[in-house]
Amino acid sequence: MSKDQAIAQLIKVFRQYGYEGTTLARLSKATGLGKASLYHYFPGGKEEMAATVLESANSWFETTVLKPLKADSEPEKRIQAMSQKINEFYCQGQETCLWSVLSVGEARNLFNSQIENILKIWIDTLTQVLIEAGVEPQEARQRSEDGIIQVQGALILVRVLNNNSPFQRVLERLPKVLLGELSHLQSS
Amino acid sequence: MSKDQAIAQLIKVFRQYGYEGTTLARLSKATGLGKASLYHYFPGGKEEMAATVLESANSWFETTVLKPLKADSEPEKRIQAMSQKINEFYCQGQETCLWSVLSVGEARNLFNSQIENILKIWIDTLTQVLIEAGVEPQEARQRSEDGIIQVQGALILVRVLNNNSPFQRVLERLPKVLLGELSHLQSS
DNA sequence: GTCTATACACCGATAGAC
DNA sequence: GTCTATCGGTGTATAGAC
């Protein structure tokens, strides 16, 4: 198993159990590697594994979700592309958000600056698209934050209710919410 | 220190660290009681402490947040009262939601049914108020879910960005969002 | 690179004195 | 009720054979 293949398995464990709930035994079982083998790939141990997994997720997010936002097509198209990729990123809402689970407890001290960075980049990128679509800058920023709020909140509801339809609903209307076609959330 | 006073301290630890990140050492430090004293109050150990804390939070939520929703005043007033109490419940957004942290990892197996119950009651109660306010039943349910989604999502954004203004904004407009005064989220 | 074996700290939990 | 002392188990991490 290559390092990249291992990372793909590790991320599932951190997502499901959070940082403190993730044990080397679970990581070992998920990858099929012994503990000592994990330390061969990640000499820094659990903390390095989490950091690597987070870096990998952020990188995937930037290239797959954010890059299409900076494309040269109409803002509407870009936002729809983003919504689709978000759906993939969270596996139709069935997967917990790595960022939200790594922002609690001790993990917060270790990783929150990385998470804060990527989230701010997301907000900024989305804001820029909305501005290009003709939305006032301040309003654009609020709507961007609101869109992300809805995605994150829906993930929690899905997890608790064991039903991913709220997530699907949020994603489907996300373009309209952002572009204001529902006259939604105008600071009014 | 009485048992109720102890519970008030325990809840802070579980909120901050989640279930697996909460250790008896931290619970002991937060309450000022030795581990053995904690076992005197909670013979079932950490699991019983978490269950008690969750039960206490749910009870507070039902009497403080949900009861006003069933009052005999206008729906608008009731919803505004709810928003105020939610603000208290989450300490102006500075406190993590106990439900969301107890719905990950192993804690999910132990507590999610309790959390699912209280969340469904919240949705149902809110839906009923909106129906009384003249909203169509299906639309009322969706808006109720959306309101809760926004509260939960805002809490995550606040935690990651170290800035509680998204939470304040969500709470301020919550009545309008629910009552549809922003023509918000009509299934259109 | 992967394994078994192991070191050492901390975990949840208990015993028993006071 | 609260404490100190301690148990068995598990946590992270390492050593060393292959």
Which residues in 21-80 of chain A line strand D, with CB less than 7 A from it?
Answer: 22-25, 35-36, 39, 43, 45-47
Q: What is the pLDDT of residue A183?
A: 57
pLDDT of residue A88: 98
- How far does B37 lie from chain A, in Å, by closest CA? 24
Asked if residue A44 keeps its beta carbon closer than 7 A to nucleic acid strand C, the reply is no
Contact B21, A109 (CB under 8 A): no
Query: In this model, does residue B34 exceed pLDDT 80?
Result: yes
Question: Is B16 part of the contact surface with chain A (CB cutoff 8 Å)?
Answer: yes
Counting the structural domains of chain B, the total is 1
Check pLDDT > 60 for residue A184: no
Q: Residue A73 belongs to what domain range?
A: 53-187
Within a domain: B94: yes
Look up residue B69 and give its DSSP letter: G
Q: Is residue B48 part of a domain?
A: no
Res. B184: pLDDT tops 60: no
Q: Which backbone phi and psi does B34 adopt, to 5 degrees?
A: -70, 160
Per 3-state DSSP, chain A is made up of helix, strand and coil in percentages (nearest 5) of 80, 0, 20
Which whole number is the average pLDDT over A32-56? Answer: 98
Q: Which of residues 8-37 of B touch strand D (CB under 7 A)?
A: 32-37
Q: Which residues of B19-28 are buried (b: 16+ CB within 10 A; e: fewer)?
A: bbbbeeebbb
Query: A153 in a domain, yes or no?
Result: yes
In a domain, B38, yes or no: no
Q: What is the mean pLDDT of chain B?
A: 96
Average pLDDT, chain A: 96
Asked if residue A135 is part of any domain, the answer here is: yes
Contact B160 A106 (CB under 8 A): no
- pLDDT at position B139: 97
CATH number at residue B134: 1.10.357.10
pLDDT of residue B7: 98
A108 is a domain residue: yes
User: Is residue B63 included in any domain, yes or no?
Assistant: yes
Query: What is the rounded CA–CA span in Å between residue B145 and residue B66?
Result: 15
**pLDDT on residue B145:** 98
| Average pLDDT value for residue range A155-172 | 98
* B156 to A154: CB separation less than 8 angstroms, yes or no: no
pTM score of the predicted model: 0.97
Distance CA B105, CA B98 (A): 14
Which tens digit of pLDDT belongs to each residue from B107-138?
A: 999 999 999 999 999 999 999 999 999 999 99
Q: How confident is the model at residue B183 (pLDDT cuts 50, 70, 90)?
A: low
Is residue A185's pLDDT more than 90?
Answer: no
Q: Is A152 or A184 the better-scoring residue by pLDDT?
A: A152
Q: CA–CA separation, B188 vs B183, rounded Å?
A: 10
pLDDT at A181: 82
Q: Cβ–Cβ contacts within 10 Å for residue A15, how many?
A: 22
Angstrom distance (rounded) from CA A79 to CA A72? 12
Chain A CB contacts of B162 under 8 Å are 116
- In the prediction, which pLDDT does A84 show? 98
Q: Say which of B159, B173, B182 has its CB closest to residue A183.
A: B182
- Whether B178 is in a domain gets the answer yes
Distance B41 CA to C18 C1' (A): 19
Q: Which nucleotides of D are covered by protein (CB under 7 A)?
A: 1-5, 10-16
Q: Residue A36 above 70 pLDDT?
A: yes
B187 pLDDT more than 80: no
